[in-house]
Chains A and B, each alone.
Chain A
Amino acid sequence: MTFHAPHIDYAGLSPVIALTAGICAVLVGGVFSARRQRLVVSVLSLTTVAVAAGLCIWQWGEREDLVAGALRLDELGLAGALIAILAAAVVIPLSWREPAAERPGSEPRHGEFQALLLSSVLGMVLLAQAQNLVVLFVSLELLSVPLYVLCGSAVRRTQSLESGLKYLIVGSLGSATLLYGLAFIYGGSGSTDFTTIRDAVGSGLTDDPLVLIGIALAATGLAFKISIAPFHQWTPDVYEGAPTPVTAFMAVATKAAAFCVFVRFFEVALGPAVDNWQPALAVLAAVSIVVGNIGALGQSSLKRLLGYSGVAQAGYMLVGIVCASALGVNALVFYLAAYTLMNLAAFAVIVVRERESGYGDGIKAFEGLGRDRPDLAWPLTIAMLALAGLPATAGFMGKLYLIEAAVDADYTWLGVAIAIGTMISLAYYLRVVAAVWMRPAAEPLAPEGAGMPAMAGGSPEADPLPSLAAATAAPRPGTRCLAILVPAWLMAGATIFFGVLPSPLVDWASHAGGALTPFLA
């Protein structure tokens, strides 16, 4: 038996290598810097993120298989990677004053927090480029495991632990379903490589029951990850309970990476069986649009509202996959980028208000924001209007492209579903805008000063509460923090910019879609 080392193109792998090295550096930096941990760790992780983004841009336009066909270097994968990296870059400043990382009264945990965040990004970069079933599964786990921990990382809040546990159980169920489906597809087609599966399925396996059930189970597993109804029940609870920066990251980055692999897996590997999965996914998309938009109507917590709105938006984006055309993939990538911009802007404002108002993320916390804090009110308003799809925002252009692609692929009724969903969604997005501009500010609640909640699941003997002096002496979570306001304004500005001048983003997205053109009709 001889060993043939695979050819490794280090240039193509460089974003992955940079992220891996960065994770290790952040972990070590967190250990050896007690005093200025936040500064040291943040410099390290922001540098990592910047370097990885730079390497992705440097590799833009290359198309080749990496390391024995495990990964596919193309614009689609790099687009997913860039979106995940952008989300991490915005979320790192958001996490600076986060109690789960700052831990007033005890030693901070920025090193672990940011290392977990970066390793999730690493999983996303691998996932977006995966073109092998084994890589797909392992990178999906590498993406999910840090998120399970991050959701539960605020160990002094019961909701956070509940959110972590819920996400762990539901996420594992989704992973198990996906794995089951992948096993069936491997059993039917005899290969784990996307292109070989495509050849096998194309040569007479399109109606093979083994492959069909594999497709169904794999679609279910992926639908769990991107919270497509009816596999969405975990979404609002997990979004509400998790620390808000984690929610922001989870909402945008997971969707981007999972959609990239979804589209690659279905259009490339299962492309010949398109007639079998297309109607099923179309139904899922329609159900998701309806359930998400109706579920969001009655929510008073903004994080829950965005959770349900995420379900609906995932439904819109699934339309891009259903189309099975280059136009659909372009629209999907465009919408993913737009969705990232608008959601990050909204969540940045939620992070600030949650810390300063005392109403948490309830809609009361945002009443009268327009008069008191216009610097916060504008990004939130822009984000809400863009999510609702008003003209002159990137959300509008994204929906327009999706509807155009749906009509082009003879799925006009899905285009109509998007339009109807958008109309319903106006009701709850505008409710937030109305609360911001038209209501008087709610009486500020006194923050629950000295008392620090007991650690959920802990025992009083093992976990003594930090002394009152420590809790009060600890810095109050800051609010007028430029590190949050600047990204919020940048994201909101970009949302408007790409709504008025969409062509740069359209070109970018069509490069990403072009990577799949050989496999599309």
Chain B
Amino acid sequence: MVQVAFFVGAIGATGGALAVIALRNPFYSVLALVVHLVSLAGLFLLLYAQFVAAAQVVVYAGAVMVLYVFVAAYVGAVEEPIWEPIPGQRFLAPLLAVALLVELTIAILGTGLTALDSEGPTVHAGFGTPAEIGNLLLERFLVVFEAASMLLLIAAVGAVVLAGRRTTPPTSSASRPGSAGSGSEVAAGPHAPTATSSLAPADPPSAAEQGG
């Protein structure tokens, strides 16, 4: 049973990953990525990592993929050639990739398969449960946990910096009386909504509303 599940998962993961890069339509690539991620979640389950499997499905196969699907559907099919026109890349890149594959295969065949016929590591009851992971995050990996939260905060700030386009030009247009003065005078007022407005840069009406 476990073997069947493993091979289903492994074939799904490998096939999905291949399809992501092989398919020409980005939309299908995204769907193939979903197959890949769900298969990976199945493999995690076989490794007693229930929580990671669930998180994988919910976060990646669910939330992140929905974003990808939206982007792919919004932008539409890209007409650009798949191969970058860098001379030699077309031949060199697969060659190096195969070299890396051979290298990895040697490494894995060299050691990993000695455990092939065993039952795998013995894990204690409760391994991989949310409670255990929570304990790990707050005991051994406390610093990492905090650093990751800083990383998320900074990533959000970075997104605002790159996407935020609200300019407050001291315009001379008479239609918005006093906008030049008040725009800079009201110190804290216009700043609070900056984050929300700048996340939706392609929305000129909202920007105009705020300026006035």
A residues contacting B by CB (< 8 A) are 1, 3-6, 8, 20, 23, 27, 31-35, 66-71, 105-107, 109, 112-113, 115-116, 119, 122-123, 126, 132, 134-135, 138-139, 141-142, 145-146, 148-149, 152-153, 155, 164, 184, 187-188, 208-210, 212-213, 216, 455, 458-459, 461-464, 466-467, 469-470
Contact = CB atoms under 8 A, between A and B. Distances in A.
A116 B187 contact: no
Interface string B170-212: 1110000000000010111011101000000111100100000
Contacts of B140: 6, 68-70
A112 B161 contact: yes
B110 A209 contact: yes
A6 B142 contact: yes
Nearest to B207: A462
Interface stretch (B22-30, B38-46, B72-80, B100-108): B100-108
Given A20-B150, A34-B191, A105-B167, A462 B204 contact: yes
Interface in B132-178: 132, 135, 138-144, 146-148, 150-151, 154-155, 157-158, 160-162, 165-172
B167 A208 contact: no
A458 B162 CA distance: 11
Interface residues of B, number: 52
A455 B166 CA distance: 12
Contact of B165 (A3, A188, A455): A455
A35 B165 contact: no
B126 interface: yes
B112 interface: yes
Given A134-B141, A470-B170, A116 B165 contact: no
B154 A5 contact: no
B162 A149 contact: yes
B131 interface: yes
Contact of A6 (B139, B148, B184): B139
B118 interface: no
Nearest to B103: A213
19 contacts: A3-B135, A5-B139, A6-B139, A34-B184, A34-B187, A70-B142, A106-B169, A116-B154, A138-B147, A149-B158, A208-B110, A209-B106, A209-B108, A209-B110, A210-B112, A213-B107, A462-B201, A467-B169, A469-B172
A68 B139 contact: yes
B3 interface: no
Contacts of B146: 20
B172 A188 contact: no
A71 to B, nearest CB: 6
B201 A142 contact: no
Interface-centre pick from A23, A34, A68 (highest chain B CB count, 10 A): A34
Majority SS of interface residues in chain B? helix
Contacts of A106: 166-169
A469 B132 CA distance: 62
B154 A33 contact: no
Contacts of A466: 167, 169
Contacts of B157: 27, 112, 115-116, 149
A32 B194 CA distance: 12
Given A126-B147, A135-B147, A210-B107, 9 more contacts: A23-B154, A107-B167, A132-B144, A145-B154, A164-B162, A208-B110, A462-B201, A463-B201, A470-B169
A153 B160 CA distance: 10
B111 interface: yes
A129 B133 CA distance: 24
A1 B135 contact: yes
Given A4-B139, A6-B139, A459-B202, A33 B187 contact: yes
A19 B142 CA distance: 17
Nearest to A126: B147
Contacts of A135: 141, 143-144, 147
CB-based closest 3 A-B pairs: A149-B158, A209-B110, A106-B167
A340 B170 CA distance: 41
A32 B108 contact: no
A463 B165 contact: yes
Contacts of A107: 166-168
A141 B202 contact: no
A458 B164 CA distance: 11
Contact of A461 (B167, B172, B194, B204): B204
A28 to B, nearest CB: 11
Contact of A67 (B126, B143, B202): B143
Contacts of A141: 151
B99 to A, nearest CB: 12
A358 to B, nearest CB: 25
A155 B162 contact: yes
A35 B141 contact: no
Contacts of B171: 467
A199 B19 CA distance: 42
Contacts of A27: 157
Contacts of A71: 143
A336 B191 CA distance: 41
